[in-house]
Amino acid sequence: MSPEPFIDLYELLQVSPNANREVVERVFRHLAKLYHPDNPHTGDSKRFQEILRAYRILMDPEKRATYDVYHQQHMQAGWEAAREAKDTGSLSDVREIRNRILSLLYAQRRREPRQPGLGDMQIAQLIGVPDIVLEFHLWYLRQKGFIDREEEGTLSITVDGIDACEELDGRALRPDRLLTKREHPDDDDPHSR
């Protein structure tokens, strides 16, 4: 079972995390009138229940203190993600991990066509990344249709994954990508004149 997704109660009530009880109370009353199911124009029972839940937590000092710790952890994770996003080298690292996963599953399918899959833990160990990091990459590759889960639960490369892997390998070996000193390969070729 996955943990409940984070809901920013302060954002939901449209108040600062530093807002005192009076501000929370005032904003709640305004939003409650706006979203109350009896309001024929703007009533929204789901939204009203969310606002009511946020209000009850933020008005109870003990529950608010517990929530504030959770909120701070979530905000810290956001800042870490922002720092990671600024690191341009991290994108090439991410691509490299996905390429290694595809290459590994490609080799496994060629080596064992009848048992082409590998388990998540096995992939994590062979690639050398933590499970939590691998989870993102596996999600991405599944969404792209490059890998699929076999009946027994292992992961294997798909036809689209093989095509992507071979295209990537082909681009890496194209002659125009290997040029280093010359702008035009025909400049030194006496037959091109």
- pTM comes to 0.46
User: CATH class for domain 9-86?
Assistant: mainly alpha
Per-residue pLDDT of the chain (193 residues; tens, 9 = 90+): 345 677 889 888 989 889 999 999 999 999 999 999 999 999 999 999 999 999 999 999 999 999 999 888 877 776 665 565 454 445 567 788 888 899 889 988 988 888 888 888 888 888 888 878 888 899 999 999 999 988 888 899 999 999 988 887 755 444 443 334 344 445 444 444 4
What DSSP element (H or E) covers 155? strand 155-157
Any alpha helices (H) in the chain, and if so which ranges? Answer: 9-13, 21-35, 45-59, 61-86, 88-111, 120-127, 131-144, 159-173, 175-178
Hey, where are the domains in the chain? 9-86, 88-177
Query: Cα separation of 19 and 58, whole Å?
Result: 10
The CATH number of domain 88-177, selected from 3.30.70.260, 3.40.50.2300, 3.40.50.11400, 1.10.10.10 = 1.10.10.10
Block residue for tokens 């890998």: 147
